Chain A
């Protein structure tokens, strides 16, 4: 079981002080957050990818390469890499390079991106989103698994005798997660390839994701990758903790009320009742997080959103410290409940071992 944090990388005003960090401060803050994640014993740091203000992470592998040099154990990932508007050839190259630099501490989560104006900036159309995700990943997958590729598709210039370099470390491509909040097609895609499926369920009611994840598990089994409960599932989470739950609520409320996405809408109380958001004591966070397994089955990766809505870096680092204290409890509980035939999260070492067994 892996635990980690994922960052959107938004530059948002702190509603309690009216101060907005500069892009430089925000970028440095993301790096400090990643280093803190390793320091407190988390397993994964994942950055978003955006190409429009108010977001800073347009160049994820640049940032992750730097973090790779500053850390030893942390798995570097994305949430998400834009499989629709990024060139699959460049994704293949960038992440293979990062894989070598980090000695295999890299995987990635593919997503479509939901900001319509971004697509035409890269010569694409949001209405082709699913089709782009399918075709581009098909190419990416081939670039990583075949040394020489001939390619002809609808969305990209043809390739003849093309070799993507560097080749994946030890011949093992980075593990791929497919992220989706509502598209069964993406769950089907993840199942077809035997890849991971990441359901960022932080905004939606449980029943919706039970069906989506259930569908992925069933199709994973259909395609012969193992039984449904062996499918590789990742979940989102969103928490704000203080020792005293009332202090947590009081401190987080102005950030909640003004947050991008859900701000000025549902109340904090409504939102905590219907979504995974937990604002309260560390014990409450443990209890709520343990319900995820009951709802969705044994899963492999839990990522928390910690650094958004204008929360200052100091507070975020305190929150990650507290996360570091509860994660061993969660890890112990979830690992104890997981049956022996259900795998943990794939890593470079486990994928390499599986490949050697197969060969």
Chain B
């Protein structure tokens, strides 16, 4: 079973970011031809307090821990944020800030953003891609930015399908991810050459 997790930092109900995350997720499902796909959608708004608490205490709540697990163990990740002050939202950044180092290394990621003005479209290139580059994720070439006027354009659907196709081919080409096991450590007897 291939797993795709979509994370939306949208705040409205319903939000444009959630809508975009759903469309990207559905399109990715269709594009993964080889295997059945299990898709999960996470709305960070529901975990906003847990995320703040985890930032302060270093410890995720059980509910947040299962969200983190669904993100870090997914075969492919779709990350969607609204544009606030010319960048990703604070909530979006906070969620990725609480993940353990290296948990997104090599992860196929599709980045997307929503905003009112088309003039924020470069947030994909200038903010989102550098962050996932730092996290050593495999970001697909096509990022999707949807401004208010794009929602009535077929060009948005074309971009969604292109980005989803790229994510699907990256996911299909890789062995299934599964959880990283933190207990896979060097035994002491090997360390000391016994």
Contacts and interface: CB of A to CB of B under 8 A. Distances in A.
Interface of A: 134, 138, 184-185, 188-189, 191-192, 203-205, 207, 211, 215, 219, 223, 261-266, 270, 274
A184 B182 CA distance: 7
B185 A265 contact: no
B52 A265 contact: yes
B59 A189 contact: no
30 contacts: A138-B192, A184-B182, A184-B183, A184-B185, A185-B186, A188-B185, A188-B188, A191-B188, A192-B188, A192-B189, A203-B57, A203-B58, A203-B59, A204-B59, A205-B59, A205-B62, A207-B62, A211-B183, A219-B187, A223-B188, A261-B56, A262-B56, A265-B52, A265-B53, A265-B56, A265-B57, A266-B53, A266-B57, A270-B53, A270-B61
Contacts of A191: 188
B188 A274 contact: no
Contacts of B56: 261-265
Contacts of A134: 191
A191 B191 CA distance: 14
Nearest to A261: B57
A16 to B, nearest CB: 21
A205 B64 CA distance: 12
B49 to A, nearest CB: 8
B62 A274 contact: yes
Contacts of A223: 188-189
B183 A215 contact: yes
B37 interface: no
- What 9 pairs between A and B have smallest CB-CB spacing? A192-B188, A265-B56, A265-B53, A266-B53, A262-B57, A184-B183, A184-B185, A185-B185, A265-B57
Interface of B: 52-53, 56-59, 61-62, 65, 182-183, 185-189, 191-192
A189 B57 contact: no
Which label, helix, strand, loop or mixed, suits the secondary structure of the A interface? helix
Contacts of A207: 62
B94 to A, nearest CB: 13
Nearest to B52: A265
A203 B56 CA distance: 11
B36 to A, nearest CB: 29
Contacts of B65: 205
A262 B54 CA distance: 9
A185 B183 CA distance: 8
Given A185-B185, A215-B183, A265-B57, 14 more contacts: A134-B191, A188-B187, A192-B188, A203-B57, A205-B59, A205-B61, A205-B62, A205-B65, A261-B56, A265-B52, A265-B53, A270-B53, A270-B61, A274-B62
A274 to B, nearest CB: 7
Nearest to A266: B53
Contacts of A184: 182-183, 185
A211 to B, nearest CB: 7
A254 B53 CA distance: 17
Contacts of B58: 203
Nearest to A114: B58
Contacts of B186: 185
Contacts of A211: 183
B147 to A, nearest CB: 36
Contacts of B182: 184
A188 B186 CA distance: 9
A185 B191 CA distance: 11
Nearest to B183: A184
A134 to B, nearest CB: 7
A211 B59 CA distance: 16
Nearest to B194: A192
Contacts of A204: 59
A246 B146 CA distance: 53
A152 to B, nearest CB: 14
B16 to A, nearest CB: 30
A121 B189 CA distance: 32
A219 B188 CA distance: 10
B194 to A, nearest CB: 9
Contacts of A219: 187
Contacts of B61: 205, 266, 270, 274
Contacts of A188: 185, 187-188
A215 B185 CA distance: 11
Nearest to A203: B59
A134 B65 CA distance: 30
A202 B18 CA distance: 36
Nearest to A130: B185
Contacts of A266: 53, 57, 61
A189 B183 contact: no
B129 to A, nearest CB: 26
Contacts of A263: 56
A188 B187 CA distance: 7
A188 B185 CA distance: 9
